[in-house]
Amino acid sequence: MSQTSLRNRMLEAFRRRMFFLIGLIAAVFMILLIQTVNLQLIQGETYKQRARMNMENYIPISASRGEMYDRNFKIGGGNVVIVSNRPSFNITTIPASFKSKEEMAAVIRPLCGLLKISYDEVMSDIRSRNPWERVVIREDIGFDTIVVIASNQHRFPNIDWEDAPVRVYNYSNMFSHTVGYIGAISPAEYKRLRDSGYRHYQKIGKSGLEGEYDSLLRGTDGHYRRVVDVRNRIEGEEVGLQAVAGDNVVLSIDFEVQKAAWEAMKDLKGSCIVVKPHTGEVIALVSRPDFDPNMVISKNNAKIIEELNTDKNKPFLNRAIQSKYPPASTFKIVTSIAALEEDKWNPNLTFHCPGKYTLKGFIDKDFFCYDAHGTLDMYWAIAKSCSVYFYQLGYKIGPTIILKYADYFGLADKTGIDLPGETQGFLPTKKWKLKTFGQQWFDGDTVNLSIGQGFVSVTPIEMANLVSAIVNGGIIMRPHLVNEVLSPDNKKVLKKTEPRKLREIPLSPMTLDTLRQGMRLAVKSGTAARLSYLKVPIAGKTGTAQTRSKRKDDYSQHAWFVGYAPFDGPVENAVAVVVMIEYGVAGAVSAVPIAERVFAKMISLGYF
């Protein structure tokens, strides 16, 4: 009896446990089924895409980047091509397409030998990237090397090549700061621009017009579609998407003028800007020292970029728009305008210059002029750049009015020129001084300000705008470097840059006339007399800024020339020129000869 009941109990236990296991089996099959549903039905599309990615090898077709021409572009050739492209190839691979690291090494190592590059560098580059994305092993490969790889394809599985035109800067250094250069897209740029269609293997404009107009110049890459198996044996190939070339651009720059200015500034440090005040077109923009963009984009550019970056002369700096300096005597233009407009000052009123000006105060302080000019009116004060005249004028009208006019001319604002990285000048205020130095605004500060010394600083492009305002009756146009955007075949003008008014300062005709006459007098028999012999009447103003430089081997002076021509011609023809030489001798000595070469060139080109 007990025997049977024990048997029954054990049989019962056995059945219970079997049913438990059957439940477990059912649950496990349920989980397997759910995961199958998840992979095939829910995520099916994603995996279909990845399967396509596996077998369809997309080989990019680089779009041809837009070319750049100078302002005299005409359909039908004979144009100055500033930037163009030459055909070349890239060697690429997708690291994840190799089955193992050993297999990858077995292919990459002999390839590096063939391409004469360091295996370790290539591998460290590959390791730092997403293995599913295409990596460029080497750029700028000639056709002969491609032939070698193509005829030995079994030895180089998973290795592809693609057309990759190389950018050519035909005038090397001459346009380094205007045109800029391109480079591999950085991880930060890629992150920012991924959604705008940029790809990690593409180039991007890094500076200058290449950077500013990148979206127009770059075009759209296409791709070949290759169906391949895991050993990269090609089953078929077709053009999946045609590349669309980038748009070409016509610059407002005149090659000849740029060349004259660039050559004139050989071995100097500084910048030269030539603008048409009527439209804002920049005819020339030179910054020295410069660099060769062809070297920056070349194969082993890391070292060259490093050298340029650490060069104490900062060749990468576009001094025309990215450096600010004390405006010095050129700022007397602003002081004059402020006095004439706001203080009922009459240009015929005189001050006496005994060679120095003594500011009365708790302790008397002397401010010097470079000469004893005697008694002079405003025309002669501008022409001779007499500081004592402006000390007294500035002291009389006070800093508020001067700064107000400096601000009207945008000396503390970016001009909005179509170049990246522009900086703006600085105008001090009483509040700023109190905050920064914990000091009141002294009369000495006012006196310094009136001749453009002290805390005030401006960029050369802002000074170009100031001159433009005088030429253009108080209107400042936004400066720009691109005149037209052309279709890739140059047959259609896609976009024309319309001149855009940046500022309008209501200046009375008397004010304008006084400044023009004064600046004309400076050329006829003043500080810029060297320009007087030119056939076209020129007006200008020099400046010599004292800097706080402690360097002994450099002149501690910056030389300025700001001017325009023709003095009395039609506004449409007028051209404003700003020359700024760092650590030059006085403005008249260093800056004026540059302006002379530029004006002479423009006269011979028939600008006036």
Partner 1 sequence: MLRRNEIYKIDYVLIAAVMAVIVIGILMIYSAGFDPIDRTNSGLYKRQIVWFIIGFILMLMMTFVRYKSLGDYCLYIYFFVLLLVIFTTFFGTPIRNTRAWLNFGYFSIQPSEFMKLAVVIVLAKYLELRERDIRHLRELLVPTAVTAAPVLFVLMQPDFGTAMVFIPVLFAMLFIGGADVSHLVAVISIATIALIFPMALTYREWVADQDASIIVSFFQDYNLLFSVAGFLLLVSITTYILHFFLIKKIFRKIYIPSIVVSFGLFFSVVIMRFLKDYQKKRILVFLNPDLDPHGSGYNVIQSKIAIGSGGFFGKGFLNGSQAQLGFLPEKSSDFIFPVIAEEWGFAGAVILLGLLCLIVLRGAQIALEAKDKFGALLAAGISSIFFFHILINVGMVLGIMPVTGLPLSFVSYGGSNLLVGMISVGILINIRMNKFVY
Residue among 74, 99, 199, 492 that touches partner 1 (CB under 8 A): 99
Nearer to partner 1, 103 or 371 (CB): 103
Contact call for residue 106 and partner 1 (CB under 8 A): no
Nearer to partner 1, 46 or 439 (CB): 46
Contact call for residue 109 and partner 1 (CB under 8 A): no
User: For residues 403-422, which are near partner 1 according to CB under 8 A?
Assistant: none
How do 89-93 and 68-69 pair as beta strands?
Answer: unpaired
Q: Which among 463, 468, 462 has a CA at the least distance from the CA of 574?
A: 468
- CB atoms near residue 422 (< 10 Å): 18
Residue among 8, 46, 242, 508 that touches partner 1 (CB under 8 A): 46
CA gyration radius for the chain?
A: 34
Number of residues engaging partner 1 in binding (CB under 8 A)? 46
Residue 98 Cβ, how far from partner 1 at the closest point, in Å?
A: 7
**DSSP character string of 43-107:** SHHHHHHHHHHHHEEEEEEPPPPPPEE-TT--TTS---EEEEEE--EEEEE-GGGSSSHHHHHHH
Q: How far apart are CA 23 and CA 34, in angstroms?
A: 16
Residue among 55, 75, 494, 585 that touches partner 1 (CB under 8 A): 55
Contact call for residue 43 and partner 1 (CB under 8 A): yes
Nearer to partner 1, 111 or 245 (CB): 111
**Long-range pairs, 301-309, Cβ under 8 A, ≥24:** 301/183
Nearer to partner 1, 131 or 361 (CB): 131
Contact call for residue 8 and partner 1 (CB under 8 A): no
Nearer to partner 1, 34 or 585 (CB): 34
Contact call for residue 133 and partner 1 (CB under 8 A): no
With contact defined as beta carbons under 8 Å apart, do 581 and 472 qualify? Answer: no
Amino acid at 586: A
Instruction: Provide the β-strand partners of residue 562.
Output: 541, 578
Contact call for residue 28 and partner 1 (CB under 8 A): yes
- CB atoms near residue 512 (< 10 Å): 18
Q: How far apart are CA 302 and CA 294, in angstroms?
A: 13
Q: Which among 284, 294, 288, 214 has a CA at the least distance from the CA of 70?
A: 284
Lay out the site mask for partner 1 across 198-237 (x = CB under 8 A, - = otherwise): ------------------------------xxxx-x-x--
How do 356-359 and 282-288 pair as beta strands?
Answer: unpaired
Nearer to partner 1, 23 or 197 (CB): 23
Contact call for residue 15 and partner 1 (CB under 8 A): yes
Residues 6 or more apart whose Cβ sits within 8 Å of residue 426: 324, 412, 455, 456, 457, 458
Q: Which stretch binds partner 1 (CB under 8 A): 49-57, 290-298, 391-399, 409-417?
A: 49-57
Contact call for residue 100 and partner 1 (CB under 8 A): yes
Q: What does residue 57 show for φ and ψ, rounded to 5 degrees?
A: -90, 115
Residue among 12, 13, 143, 604 that touches partner 1 (CB under 8 A): 13
Q: Which stretch binds partner 1 (CB under 8 A): 27-35, 272-280, 456-464, 593-601?
A: 27-35
Q: Kindly list the residues in this chain that would bind partner 1 in the complex (CB under 8 A).
A: 6, 10, 13-15, 17-18, 21-22, 25-26, 28-29, 31-33, 35-37, 39-41, 43-44, 46-48, 50-52, 54-55, 96, 98-101, 104, 131-132, 228-231, 233, 235
